[in-house]
Amino acid sequence: MSDLAGNEELPGVRAAYLGRVSFKESWELQQKIREDRAGDKTGEDVFLFLEHDPVFTLGTGGSEANVLTRRLLSGEGEIPLIRINRGGEVTYHGPGQLMMYAICDLRRRDRDVHTHCRRLEEVFVRYLSDLGFTAERRAAMPGLWVGGRKILSLGVGVRGWVTMHGVAFNIAPDLRCFEMIHPCGEVGARATSLEMLIGEPPPLGEVAESLGPVCRDIFGQEIVWPTEAAARFSSLTPVASLTPVEGAGP
């Protein structure tokens, strides 16, 4: 799956690894970038790679019945639950999980959100294949599984053919947190991680940068990593919400 050939007019992609960012800040940042992209204030698509403090997110039509408990494993306090503008049910985000948020203008390509979702999955299908693992898709269930356990969740929102949200890739999160919910609404679902598959995984930032060439091949766009990532994406202004489209994920 590659759009590189015959699509010379596609814009470039500005990518950045932002480290640990609160979910609220990243959500506002995504919305600001999406607004600028939709209004042609910027000519680039944007890929944001980062991780969050523990949080459960729930799609607009998702059921809170899929949240079994929010009590922290330490017994002190609760993991926040935030309903957001994407499709799908509840999922968990937290330290050790790499988020890939893709703000892409589909007006410049195929205007097909489902194909956009498959592109996002394919990035990690190929990454895992390079490590010797076969990532599986399931009919009508966004995301990826390895050995019957889910390693990547997906959820996308779109408005005016400009997307936001994306995927969550389990590198080394606390997998016990997935037992506090029915992940993506699937009763009895089990999660896995890169740590479980290979032992000591690479740092999240290293994984993010290694995905650049894969993203280029799949999206058919040049990927540019700025020197000062945080400075490039420092303006946080909330804007209107998007229509949820697909997935049970970020």
Catalytic residues: 184
What are the phi and psi torsion angles at 142 (to 5°)?
A: -60, 145
Helix H segments across 147-247? 194-198, 204-210, 212-219, 229-232
What are the phi and psi torsion angles at 32 (to 5°)?
A: -65, -45
Question: Residue 122: left (phi > 0), alpha (psi -120 to 50), or beta?
Answer: alpha
On whether the CB atoms of residues 72 and 78 are closer than 8 A, the answer is: yes
Helix H segments across the chain? 23-38, 113-130, 194-198, 204-210, 212-219, 229-232
